[in-house]
Chain A
Amino acid sequence: QVQLQESGPGLVKPSETLSLTCTVSGGSISSYYWSWIRQSPGKGLEWIGYIYYTGSTKYNPSLKSRVTILVDTSKNQFSLKLGSVTAADTAVYYCARPKWGDGGWFDPWGPGTPVTVSS
């Protein structure tokens, strides 16, 4: 059964770039879409973007100017880069697999990794 695990720094300074990696185990990253989702303190879940294993991407318009999602099929990993971070980007970041590229549900999810933006 496919499992996801996020990794990366838990503390990022304002104006710097947040970088996270999601490692996929128990299955191949190929032939699927992969997504990043976050939850800010006291708020609901927010979809950040997705990448198809071929490298095609789609981002949430509210974050599009600052987000890059990449895939490394040789390592069965995909990554998130969010630039020019502020305190508003403090959140728990999850990686998850959407059913389709234009709808459906997310399953499975990683356990999430907390990221704090602070100097």
Chain B
Amino acid sequence: QSVLTQPPSVSGAPGQRVTISCTGSSSNTGAGHDVHWYQHLPGTAPKLFIYGNSNRPSGVPDRFSGSKSGTSASLAITGLQAEDEADYYCQSYDNSLSGWVFGGGTKLTVL
């Protein structure tokens, strides 16, 4: 059971918009800690896609955006493309653990 809760899977057709939710608690996201998102393709290094709730590293398409409100955060992907098919993980910091916590991951399928 992961500390941050994500839906196991989401799907959408090419060109559509999908969102992935990430819900934490008062000891992590609700305590004001930022949420960060990673794209993970099997057999490769997870790649930082969103940091500080809504910031995109250089090279990440602007089709990807992040937001956070209270204990929840979301990753939105617009203009879905086949290359977006991957696992996405959210991550934050937890005061009770005094360490980093992750979501269970969401598998994005492009139909």
Contact = CB atoms under 8 A, between A and B. Distances in A.
Interface of A: 4, 35, 37, 43-47, 49, 58, 60-61, 94, 96, 98-99, 102-112
Interface of B: 2, 33-34, 36, 38, 43-48, 51-52, 57, 89, 91, 93, 97-105
Interface centre among A37, A96, A98, A103 (most CB of B within 10 A): A103
A103 to B, nearest CB: 4
A94 B33 CA distance: 23
Contact of B45 (A46, A94, A98, A103): A94
A106 B89 CA distance: 12
B93 A102 contact: yes
B11 to A, nearest CB: 20
Main secondary structure of the interface of A (DSSP, over half): strand
B36 A105 contact: yes
Given A44-B2, A45-B105, A103-B34, A94 B93 contact: no
A44 B89 contact: yes
A22 B100 CA distance: 19
B97 A107 contact: no
Contact of B97 (A61, A105, A108, A112): A61
B48 A107 contact: yes
Contacts of A111: 43-45
B43 A46 contact: no
B48 A44 contact: no
Interface centre among A46, A105, A109, A110 (most CB of B within 10 A): A105
